[in-house]
Structure 1
Amino acid sequence: MRRVLRDSDLRRLLLARLVTNAGDSLYYVAATWLVYALTGSTFYTGLATFLVLAPAGLQFLFGPLVDRVPLRSLLVGTQVTQMVLVLVVPVAYFLDALSVWVLLVVMSLLSLLNQPAYPAQSAAIPRIVDREDLVAANSVFSVAYQGVDAAFNALGGLLVAVVGAVTLFVVDSVTFAVAALLLLGITIPAAEAADRTEGEAGDETPEGTVAADGGDPGPESYLDSLRAGFSFVRGTVVSRAMLATVVVNGSLGGVLAVLPAYGDALGGEVAYGLAMAAIGGGLLVGSLVAGVFDDRPLGLLLGGGAAFSAVVWATAVGIGWLPMTVPLLAVAFVPVGVTNVLFASMMQALVPEASMGRVMALVGSVSAGATPFGGLLGGSLAAVTSPGLVMLAGAVGFAFVALWVFAVPDLRRLPHIGEIETLRL
Structure 2
Amino acid sequence: MFRLLTHPSFLFLLLGRVVTNIGDSLYYVASMWLVFELSHNPFYTGLAGFLILVPKVLQFLIGPLVDRWRVKPILISTQVLQAVLLMTIPIAYYLDAVHVSFLLCIMPLLACIEEFAYPAQTKTLPLLLKKEDLLHANSLFAIAYQGIDLILNSLGAILVASFGAIFVFWIDSITFVIAALCFSLVKIPRRKLDQDDVKEKQSSIKRYVIELREGFHVVLHSLLWVFTIGSLLANFTIGMTLAILPSFSDQIGGVGTYGFLLTAISAGSLMGAFLGPVLGRFRIGSTAILCFTLGGLCWIVAGWMTSPILICLLFGVAWIPVGAVNILFAGLIQAAVPHEILGRTTSITYSISVSAMPIGSLVGGSLANYLGSSFIFSFSGIGLILISFVWLLHPQLRQLSTQDTIDASVLKLPPTSTPPSPVVN
User: What TM-score range do you get, normalising by the shorter chain?
Assistant: 0.7 to 0.9
Q: Is the 8 A contact 1:4 1:10 kept in 2?
A: yes
Give, in whole Å, the separation in 2 of the partners of 1:409 and 1:125. Answer: 40
Q: State the partner residue of 1:201.
A: none
2:293 to 290, 294, 307: 307
Give, in whole Å, the separation in 1 of the partners of 2:29 and 2:308. Answer: 18
Q: Is the 8 A contact 2:335 2:407 kept in 1?
A: no
The structure number with the bigger radius of gyration is 2
Give, in whole Å, the separation in 2 of the partners of 1:235 and 1:411. Answer: 15
Q: State the partner residue of 1:104.
A: 104
Indicate how the Cα distance of structure 1 residues 421 and 77 shifts in structure 2: closer, same or farther if over 3 A, else same.
farther
3-state DSSP of counterpart to 2:281: coil
The Cα RMSD (Å) is 3.0
3-state DSSP of counterpart to 1:43: helix
Q: Is the 8 A contact 1:13 1:183 kept in 2?
A: yes
Map 1:262-341 to 2 at 5 A: 262-341=248-327
Q: Within the alignment, does 1:378 sit opposite 2:368 as a pair?
A: no
The one-letter code of the counterpart of 1:406 is L
3-state DSSP of counterpart to 1:422: coil
> 1:393 offset after TM fit, Å?
2.9
Indicate how the Cα distance of structure 1 residues 279 and 410 shifts in structure 2: closer, same or farther if over 3 A, else same.
same
Q: Deviations over 1:109-138 (max 9, x none)?
A: 111111233444555567777888877665
Give, in whole Å, the separation in 1 of the partners of 2:131 and 2:91. Answer: 46
Q: State the partner residue of 1:245.
A: 231
Q: Within the alignment, does 1:406 sit opposite 2:392 as a pair?
A: yes
Give, in whole Å, the separation in 2 of the partners of 1:14 and 1:242. Answer: 32
3-state DSSP of counterpart to 2:381: helix
Q: Which stretch shows the higher mean deviation, 358-367 or 252-261?
A: 358-367
The one-letter code of the counterpart of 1:58 is L
Scaled by the length of structure 2, the TM-score of the pair is 0.85
Q: State the partner residue of 1:170.
A: 170
Give, in whole Å, the separation in 1 of the partners of 2:132 and 2:383. Answer: 33
Q: Is the 8 A contact 1:128 1:189 kept in 2?
A: yes
Identity among equivalent positions (%) equals 39
Q: Deviations over 1:172-219 (max 9, x none)?
A: 22222233333345567899xxxxxxxxxxxxxxxx8x8xxx996462
Map 1:355-374 to 2 at 5 A: 355=341, 357-374=343-360
Indicate how the Cα distance of structure 1 residues 239 and 46 shifts in structure 2: closer, same or farther if over 3 A, else same.
same
> 1:166 offset after TM fit, Å?
1.0
The one-letter code of the counterpart of 2:101 is W
Q: Deviations over 1:139-198 (max 9, x none)?
A: 54444312211211111111111111011112222222233333345567899xxxxxxx
Indicate how the Cα distance of structure 1 residues 136 and 339 shifts in structure 2: closer, same or farther if over 3 A, else same.
farther
Indicate how the Cα distance of structure 1 residues 328 and 135 shifts in structure 2: closer, same or farther if over 3 A, else same.
farther
Q: Is the 8 A contact 1:33 1:260 kept in 2?
A: yes
> 1:247 offset after TM fit, Å?
0.9
Q: Which stretch shows the higher mean deviation, 15-24 or 68-77?
A: 68-77
3-state DSSP of counterpart to 2:244: helix
Q: State the partner residue of 1:196.
A: none
Q: Within the alignment, does 1:75 sit opposite 2:59 as a pair?
A: no
Indicate how the Cα distance of structure 1 residues 133 and 243 shifts in structure 2: closer, same or farther if over 3 A, else same.
farther
> 1:28 offset after TM fit, Å?
0.8
Give, in whole Å, the separation in 2 of the partners of 1:5 and 1:296. Answer: 35
Scaled by the length of structure 1, the TM-score of the pair is 0.85
Map 1:7-406 to 2 at 5 A: 12-121=12-121, 123=123, 140-186=140-186, 217=201, 219-221=203-205, 222-348=208-334, 355=341, 357-406=343-392
The one-letter code of the counterpart of 2:367 is L
Indicate how the Cα distance of structure 1 residues 304 and 168 shifts in structure 2: closer, same or farther if over 3 A, else same.
same
Indicate how the Cα distance of structure 1 residues 248 and 283 shifts in structure 2: closer, same or farther if over 3 A, else same.
same
Q: Which stretch shows the higher mean deviation, 67-76 or 15-24?
A: 67-76
Give, in whole Å, the separation in 1 of the partners of 2:388 and 2:189. Answer: 39
Q: Is the 8 A contact 1:406 1:412 kept in 2?
A: yes
Give, in whole Å, the separation in 2 of the partners of 1:372 and 1:366. Answer: 12
Indicate how the Cα distance of structure 1 residues 371 and 171 shifts in structure 2: closer, same or farther if over 3 A, else same.
same
> 1:383 offset after TM fit, Å?
0.6
The one-letter code of the counterpart of 2:311 is T
Q: State the partner residue of 1:198.
A: none
Q: Is the 8 A contact 1:258 1:379 kept in 2?
A: yes
Indicate how the Cα distance of structure 1 residues 292 and 14 shifts in structure 2: closer, same or farther if over 3 A, else same.
farther
Give, in whole Å, the separation in 2 of the partners of 1:124 and 1:19. Answer: 17
Q: Which stretch shows the higher mean deviation, 14-23 or 254-263?
A: 14-23
Give, in whole Å, the separation in 2 of the partners of 1:311 and 1:377. Answer: 22
Indicate how the Cα distance of structure 1 residues 350 and 10 shifts in structure 2: closer, same or farther if over 3 A, else same.
farther
The one-letter code of the counterpart of 2:175 is T
Q: Which stretch shows the higher mean deviation, 94-103 or 66-75?
A: 66-75
Q: Deviations over 1:223-250 (max 9, x none)?
A: 2342233234333343221011111011
The one-letter code of the counterpart of 1:241 is F
Q: State the partner residue of 2:419.
A: none
Q: Which stretch shows the higher mean deviation, 308-317 or 290-299?
A: 290-299
Indicate how the Cα distance of structure 1 residues 309 and 183 shifts in structure 2: closer, same or farther if over 3 A, else same.
same
Q: Which stretch shows the higher mean deviation, 294-303 or 78-87?
A: 294-303
The one-letter code of the counterpart of 1:251 is T
State how many pairs are aligned.
Answer: 405
Q: Is the 8 A contact 1:252 1:393 kept in 2?
A: no
Q: Which runs of 5+ in 2 are unaligned?
A: 413-425
> 1:371 offset after TM fit, Å?
0.6
3-state DSSP of counterpart to 1:116: helix
